[in-house]
Structure 1
Amino acid sequence: MEGQEPSSPLDSKPVVMAVSLTVAFLALGILLLFVVFRLKHNSSRGSENSSTIPLRGCQKDICKTNTQIPVEELLEALKMFKREEIEAEQTDDESVNRHGAGLLREYQQLPSTLLHPCNAGKELCNQNKNRYKSIIPYDHCRVVLQPSDTGNGYINASYVDTYRSPRFFIAAQGPLAGTVVDFWHMVWQEKTSVIVMLTGLVEQNKIKCEQYWPEQEQVYGDFTVTLNNTWTTTGLVKRIFGLQK
């Protein structure tokens, strides 16, 4: 009976080397996958951090600042704000100093008086319809009441043009006790749907506007005004009126 020769130890070396290389490649592949995964993960976290901006709440102290400006001081306040703005621009912009006096001199050259006639508001019969002597509508843009049972159709109110269209809205003074009828006449004539009241009836112990609306219903000349509803929120009162003639 012929026996088999035992295998030589040299014959098993290729198998051992192949297994070792396979394990090494697998380990290297796993390591590469892990490195790529970490790089992508860190990149995504970095992009999220760079695109995230924390928002802080508004400081309540800022909202408590008193910014009320009396109507009679409004023009001077606007001039002061504009002057401060121009002076700040001159300080920051060196090119202004290289071109003469700059914007400040141009601003000072602007006329500070009336640019157009306002004869109607200066007439003796209309002076008692102006709340302030220095705030009078120009003749070319003032609202004229047609027809008028209370005089010559004068009311201290002006049409205001906007980028949308001419005469887009009306700027009017707070009605006086003797001009409430004229005020509702204007609302009816101009088909006004919204009245925005920018002043209180009384501010700093000074009467700024006559209460031109009723508590329920009231007749003003030829017009009957009815208060249909009232909503009150923080700093705002909304009233719905009915107007009939």
Structure 2
Amino acid sequence: MKIISLVPSITETLFDFGLTADEVIGRTKFCIHPSDLVKSVEVIGGTKNLNIDKIKLLNPDLIIANKEENEKIQVEELMKDFKVWVTVIETLEDNQDFISELGNLLNKEDLALDFNQKITSVFNDVKVSEPKKVAYLIWKNPYMTVGSDTFINKILGKLDFENLFKNRTRYPEVSVEELKEADLIFLSSEPFPFQQKHIDELQRELPNKEIILVDGEAFSWFGTHLMKVGNYLKYLSLQY
């Protein structure tokens, strides 16, 4: 089966299932894991700006997309010519189902079960010592955060962090004044590439707040990536 993946975490998951670059024939420019294998796979644009013509030339048996990551109009265009699986992953339960379904598709049910057990273990082992209100920022100019209906919010909750903006939805803009209510402020490494200089800038406006950089992949990448972030999440939770 020749598959094109339109999402980085899906690409990584396919390779974790043991597929080769002869089977994963297309990926986005943001698909970076595993680095030694993705370099051999044709790039078909970005998650939001797919090269439809190139995808048609590759003529895949299956395209795997994601409702959150890909543009509906482009996915619908691909559906006219190809079988497209649009994944919807908003919770860890959704993620478990995705891995199970992929295992069934690839005739690797036992491997899927093993992956899901490892992910369950990750979140059984990590909890903060006491709940803290967290503002998780994903963008700058304007500052943007995550609401209750996001995968990131679910991951925060599994760690017993309380999302300061849990009463909002999607990715709302927030002000510096609103951030004063947070116990912790997380600056994510993606999609905006926050760095130390951004901590310093925000710290000048919020001198009494603890502001830290966090690995965005650990909070937003679904699929098998979650079984690899246990040590990082445990380290993070132990700090607080």
Tell me the TM-score normalized by structure 2.
Answer: 0.23
Structure possessing the higher relative contact order (Cα contacts under 8 Å, 6 or more residues apart) = 2
Tell me the TM-score normalized by structure 1.
Answer: 0.23
Larger Rg: 1
